[in-house]
Chains A and B, each alone.
Chain A
Amino acid sequence: KAGVTQTPRYLIKTRGQQVTLSCSPISGHRSVSWYQQTPGQGLQFLFEYFSETQRNKGNFPGRFSGRQFSNSRSEMNVSTLELGDSALYLCASSPLGRGIADTQYFGPGTRLTVL
């Protein structure tokens, strides 16, 4: 079974631009979550989606948004990019999305660099 895939793998943008990242979960997985990894803040939860609904959101500004489609694929969007948005963005999926005892599997990430 194919793992979680993320596109693009690398992205370079300039301040003020916007960016859209894509995530395809493992086949049959219904829950998708997004995380940001930076050297200073570690791995931080952005948001999670289940059945096309945002179920939980981390402590990030409104410039960060996402959505999930009926096939469970997900996108996240960052508008008005800032230098501090440079990070590795990770997507994870889990089979049931029921929370407890449900393991999340991560994709390879998208490395975003903002100049």
Chain B
Amino acid sequence: DQQVKQNSPSLSVQEGRISILNCDYTNSMFDYFLWYKKYPAEGPTFLISISSIKDKNEDGRFTVFLNKSAKHLSLHIVPSQPGDSAVYFCAAKGAYNTDKLIFGTGTRLQVFP
């Protein structure tokens, strides 16, 4: 049972435009959400996170939106740059006394000039 889903396996965006990556979850107990960027054969790099008490968090070019009623979050990258090309994972966790992350399947973003 896939509790965190990223339904778009890939996304192609022109440099300078907005990239929107989506993530859906099924477990209403999830309370904290994170986005990671990953290159092949490397560890994920933390980008941005959001707590369920917020609906938006911004950090530079990255903004994460959370719609708790729809169990949906999205990552916006504005403006997109070629260096943003990577696989993006959303992850969720819910229990207080654990660091266990449930990952989505990832979306491969390609930013072309």
Contacts and interface: CB of A to CB of B under 8 A. Distances in A.
B101 A33 contact: yes
Interface stretch (B13-21, B38-46, B70-78): B38-46
Nearest to B43: A106
Residues of B in contact with A, size category: 20 to 34
Interface string A50-87: 10000110100000000000000000000000000000
B42 A55 contact: no
Interface in A21-64: 31, 33, 35, 42-45, 48, 50, 55-56, 58
Interface residues of A, number: 32
B44 A42 contact: no
A48 to B, nearest CB: 5
A23 B51 CA distance: 28
A48 B98 contact: yes
B8 to A, nearest CB: 15
A106 B51 contact: no
Interface of B: 31-32, 34, 36, 41-46, 49, 51, 89, 91, 93, 95-106
30 contacts: A4-B43, A35-B103, A42-B104, A42-B105, A43-B44, A43-B101, A43-B103, A44-B103, A45-B101, A48-B99, A50-B99, A56-B98, A56-B100, A58-B100, A90-B43, A90-B44, A92-B99, A98-B97, A99-B99, A100-B31, A100-B32, A100-B93, A101-B49, A101-B51, A103-B46, A104-B34, A104-B46, A104-B99, A106-B44, A108-B43
